[in-house]
Amino acid sequence: MKQHYIDEKTGISYTLQGDYYLPDLTLPAEGNKTIGIWGQRHLRYIRQHRKVFYTNLLTSGKLNSYLADIDEQAEDMFFRLIEQMAEREGIFEKLKAEQPMEWVGKMNALREAAVEIVNAEVIFS
Q: What is the pLDDT of residues 91-124, one digit of tens each?
A: 988 998 999 999 999 999 999 999 999 999 999 9
Higher per-residue pLDDT: 111 or 61: 111
What pLDDT is stored for residue 102 in this prediction? 94
What pLDDT is stored for residue 28 in this prediction? 62
The alpha carbon of 91 is separated from its chain's Cα centroid by a whole number of angstroms, namely 31
Question: Average of pLDDT values for 30-37?
Answer: 81
Concatenated DSSP letters of the chain = ---EEE-TTT--EEEEETTEEEE---PPP-------HHHHHHHHHHHHH-HHHHHHHHHHT-HHHHHHHHHHHHHHHHHHHHHHHHHHHT--HHHHHH-HHHHHHHHHHHHHHHHHHHIIIIIT-
Contact by Cβ (8 Å): 51, 63: no
Q: What is the pLDDT of residues 73-84, one digit of tens each?
A: 999 999 999 999
71 — pLDDT class (breaks 50, 70, 90): very high
Percentage, residues of the chain above pLDDT 90: 64
What are the residue ranges spanned by the domains of the chain?
1-30, 35-123
Question: Average of pLDDT values for 20-31?
Answer: 75
What pTM does this model have?
0.74
What pLDDT is stored for residue 29 in this prediction? 65
